[in-house]
Structure formats: C-alpha cells, structure tokens
Amino acid sequence: MPNIRPEDGTCFDPQMGIKLQRSQEFRMNKWSRLYRDLRALPSRQAGRLLMRKASKGWRARKAEISAKRQIRSIQNDLGSPLVPGQVLHDLLDSKFTRLNGFPITPDRTRETAALLNQRFPDWVARCIGSANRICENRISLLGHEIHLEEPPAWHNDHISGAVWPTQHSGQLLNLRMNHGSDIKFVWELSRFHHGVTLARAFALTTDERFARKFLSLFNDWLKANPPYAGPNWTCAMEVAIRAVNLLWAGSLLVSSAAFDRRAREAFIKTLLVHGAFIYHNLEYDVRAVGRSLQPVNGNHYLADLSGLLYLSCAFPECRFASVWREFAQRELFREIRSQVDEEGVHWEYSPGYHRLVLEMILSCLILLERQSVTIPEDIREKASKMLDFIRHYTKPSGGVPLVRDIDNGRFCILGEEELSSHDHLLALGAIYFDRPDLYPGQLFEDCLWYLGPRACEWHKREPAPSPSPPRMECAGERGSSIPYRQASRTGPSASSKLYRQSGFCVMRHDSHYLLAVCSPKGMKGYCGHTHNDFLSFELEAFGRTFLTDCGSYVYSQSPE
C-alpha cells in the first residue's frame, strides 16, 4: 500500500523510492568512474573521452537523422527500379526464386525438409507441436508460456503485466532500471524466434496455416512498431537479431501462396529499414584502458555486425548494401580477434554469453563461405577453440554450469534443443570444422538447416565417440530412498583443464566434475557479464548438481 508523506500529504510508494534512490546511486557511481578515468588519462585523451561523453545525446540525434534519411532513400528506391531496366515486381520474382545471399535457398530448403521428414520424424513432430501452440497464441518465452492477445501486445512485459509506452525510443533508455518490469521479456517476443518456428513448420509440411499465422504476426508487429518508436527500437542488438530471424523465416516461407508480392514488398522494406537503423546505431564503445582510449565492445556489437552482414548479403541490390557488407565483414573479424582470447574464451567470461557469441560467429562464417569468402585462418582457429571451451565446461550429465550472467539469449533457434545444453553447437562445429573429437554423438536439427545433407553424411561417416563416465540419475522423488540408476551420456571426452587467461578451472574424475571461477574482470576491466561471483564454483557428481549458484533470475527489473 502507498504511504502518505506527513510533511506534504503526498502519496508515495516506498519500493519506488528505494528504486529511485538506487538509480541515483548508480548514476553517482557512473560519474565517479568517469572522474577516475579522466584522472588516469593524459590530458589530450581525457579531453577526447569527456567530449565523447558530453556529445552522446548529440551523436544519437545525428545518427537518427542519418538513419531516417537512409530509410527515406530506401523507400524511394522501392518505389522505382532498384536495378536499371528492371521493375520492382520483376526484381521481387527474380529475388525470391533464387534467394541468392539469403540464409538458405529454396532448393536447399526442400532438400533439408525431405531429409528431416524421412529420417527424423520426432524432430518434425516437435516442431509442428510448437508451431500449433503458436497458432493458438501460446508462446514460450524464456521458460514461461504466455498467451498472446488479439492483436498481440508487443509493448507488454507479459510476466509483470507492465506496459511500455509507445514513444521515441531514446526517451525509454532511462526507464530500464526504474520501470518495474523486465525489458528482456518485451525484447524477446519481438526477436521473432516464434516466426522461425512457424516457418520451419511450413517448410516441413507446406501447411499454409503456419505461413498465414507468421504473416499475421509480422503485419501486426509492423503496425505497432514504427521505426524509432517504442521499446523494440531502443537496442540495435534486438533489431539485428530480429532481422536475422525474419530473413530465415522469409527464406523458409518463400514457396507459400500467402507470401505474395504485397507481403514480399513489405518484407523487403522492413528488413532494409532494420539495416539502416543498425548501421546508424551501432553499439560501439571506446573506454579508458590504462592511460589510453581503446575500443571495448561485447556481444551487442557483434550482434549488430552479424545482423548487418546478413542483410547486406541478402540484398546486394540496395544502394547501401556494399557499404554495410564491407564494414560488417571487416569489423566482425576485428572484433573476433579482440574479444576472443588465445585460449578461445570470449572476454565477457560467461558460458551463457560465450554460447550466444559463438552462435553468431559460426552462423556468419557459414554465410560468408556461401558467398565464396575465404575466412582468415586465425578467425577459424579462434572459433574452433571456442568450441573446445564448450567441450571442457560441459558437465558429464550434458548440462552447463550456472556461473556468471546468463539470460538464455539465442541468435537464431533452428531446432527444439534444450537451453541447458550446448551440445548442438558442438555438433555444428564438429561438422563444420571436420573435428570428430568435438562431436557429441548425435545430430541436431540446426545442423541440417545450416549444412544440409553434409551433416547427415558426416554423421554416418564418423563413429560416435566413447560414452562419458557413467552418471547416476535418481529414479524417485528428491530425498526418497529409491536407489540411483546408472546412465551414460555419449559425448566428446574432456579432461581437467585450467584456462589461464580467463581463470576458468575445470576438474574431472570419472563422473565427478567441478568448475571454479578464478577470473579477472573481463573486457579490459569493464566486466561485461563477468560481475561479482568471483571464486564461485559448481560441483556435480553421479549426474547430480550438488552445489550451484542460481543467480538473480532477472535481467533489468531490479537494480539490486
């Protein structure tokens, strides 16, 4: 219940007062850090940092003007021939017949769908089941099943019930810590992972019901989310991931009768607007490191680059595509070299975000190779070592240790794999790099969508690795006297290992496993998703986790 202030009779909520006080403390800490950085830097570097901080609002406004100018140019282009002598309808027909540069071509889609229906009917059944629930407006959202309204409330946090206002996206940034809801749930729905599920189901069944549902959700989202308005345009990473999911969905739906010229025009226009927004709102940062200013970026900037790369490959006809492509490819390689250490650990030092970053990297490398781009050997080596890190931190039971931040964020979900396992990446990486030592002994659906029949051929050719040491599963309720039964997980063998640069220490003996976190602050001292669980550890034995740290379970809802 709100209380009454005795001095003036006004009503206030003590919890909101606590939140505002914490927000003020947070802002004070930001200024303290800035003052510390300025004192450490030489005068010229300090002046550059101060100017960068002071001009942040001006730069954001300039970026918005530039983005809107580019969006207008794109809209004008779509009203005239994009290629001299070729009208838009002819170009659309040509583009959607071949889908050159898209994540998957129509021929590969048909081939993969036939393979899945023939050899993996259980996967197909799970996909169709998920798509049917979406058609009933039941969507799984970060472990919660929500029921969408008609029309969907795209600005609602469906868990807390809070509604985010439809106003200029720049005015919403400061509400993340004080709004009483978790922005993550709003963003997750608009990433359109559910759209890819519907598109996969259509590709597997040719049932137009799934295509119509996707287009209904897509068109409604367009009406509710004009560019730069509302919470779904506050973060370029969210825009980029949404663009990638829409590209995958469009690729899989291309043969649908519902995906007609009108739908295709709206689809292309929307995606190119996403590209313009990303390019002018990149989450790139320069920070004080020692006595100099250096780029310090994380998974957000990598997501921006990945989305821009996907869009530029899909739409080379766009007048801005060559600029986007050259920039995204160059920066992607530079950031991989910067953000992934020599042992293959992403410098935010979180297994959850390591998975997200590697999903982006592998997806982009596969896309670039289809564009006949030669991947530098050092980039391939770093991606391969990132897979080694997953192999080592994966527990004997197949799960992943809950240390550091994890928001269950995904880049593009092309299967029904469990969030608690990263084996699907080990399988994809084993096939892509031809490394049998990584292979977990089973295929996953995303391997086929990314690599097609090559994945099945590789699986048949390579023998499954030896099972990991037996794990023990409880056959009864927790705490009961029913004895354990023995089970084993077939997967890549891994030994004890110390990652010296990142400070992760993995100790193994038979089915006993311990991961200890002895990391320094990640991201050159700016932590990222490192945070304050230093010296945390997780212990597993006989297939059961005995000691773990489950974290704070919220993303931005509470400053505490």
Quote the CA–CA distance of 107 and 102 in Å, as a whole number.
12
Quote the CA–CA distance of 82 and 73 in Å, as a whole number.
11
Q: Which pLDDT score is estimated for 202?
A: 98
Tell me if 328 sits within 8 A of 336, measured CB to CB: no
* 559: Cβ contacts below 8 Å, ≥ 6 apart: 19, 22, 23, 26, 177
CATH of domain 66-461: 1.50.10.100
Phi, psi (5° rounding) for residue 507?
A: -120, 130
Termini Cα distance of the chain:
21
If DSSP codes are grouped into helix, strand and coil, which group holds residue 539? strand
Give the amino acid at 446: D
Domains of the chain by residue range:
3-61, 66-461
Phi, psi (5° rounding) for residue 512?
A: -90, 140
Please, what are the averages of pLDDT over each run of 10 residues along the chain (560 residues)? 34 36 45 61 65 64 73 67 53 78 94 96 96 96 87 88 75 55 88 98 98 98 92 94 98 95 91 93 79 80 97 91 96 96 90 94 97 96 97 91 78 88 95 94 94 92 52 34 39 81 90 87 62 79 81 56
Closest CA to 242 of 200, 197, 190: 190
Q: Which pLDDT score is estimated for 43?
A: 67
Q: Check residue 426 and give left, alpha or beta (phi > 0: left; psi -120 to 50: alpha).
A: alpha
Closest CA to 450 of 385, 336, 359: 359
Tell me if 497 sits within 8 A of 512, measured CB to CB: no
Tell me if 409 sits within 8 A of 359, measured CB to CB: no
Cα Rg, the chain, nearest whole Å: 24
Quote the CA–CA distance of 314 and 239 in Å, as a whole number.
16
Q: Which pLDDT score is estimated for 212?
A: 98
Quick one: tokens of 13? 């909520």
If DSSP codes are grouped into helix, strand and coil, which group holds residue 258? coil
Quick one: tokens of 282? 């990149």
Quick one: tokens of 413? 């979900």
Q: CA 214 from chain center: how many Å?
A: 20
* Residue that has been written with the tokens 């809070």 in this structure: 162
Q: Which pLDDT score is estimated for 32?
A: 66
On the 0-12 / 13-18 / 19+ scale of CB atoms within 10 A, 392 is buried
Quote the CA–CA distance of 343 and 332 in Å, as a whole number.
19
Q: CA 434 from chain center: how many Å?
A: 25
Give 516's strand partners.
505, 537
Q: Which pLDDT score is estimated for 534?
A: 72
Tell me if 46 sits within 8 A of 38, measured CB to CB: yes
If DSSP codes are grouped into helix, strand and coil, which group holds residue 340? strand
Quote the CA–CA distance of 173 and 158 in Å, as a whole number.
19
Closest CA to 500 of 320, 342, 383, 304: 342
Quote the CA–CA distance of 305 and 313 in Å, as a whole number.
12
Q: Which pLDDT score is estimated for 319?
A: 86
Give the amino acid at 85: G
Quote the CA–CA distance of 549 and 488 in Å, as a whole number.
25
Q: Which pLDDT score is estimated for 79?
A: 56
CA angle (255 as vertex; 141, 411 as ends), nearest 5:
30
Quote the CA–CA distance of 92 and 83 in Å, as a whole number.
11
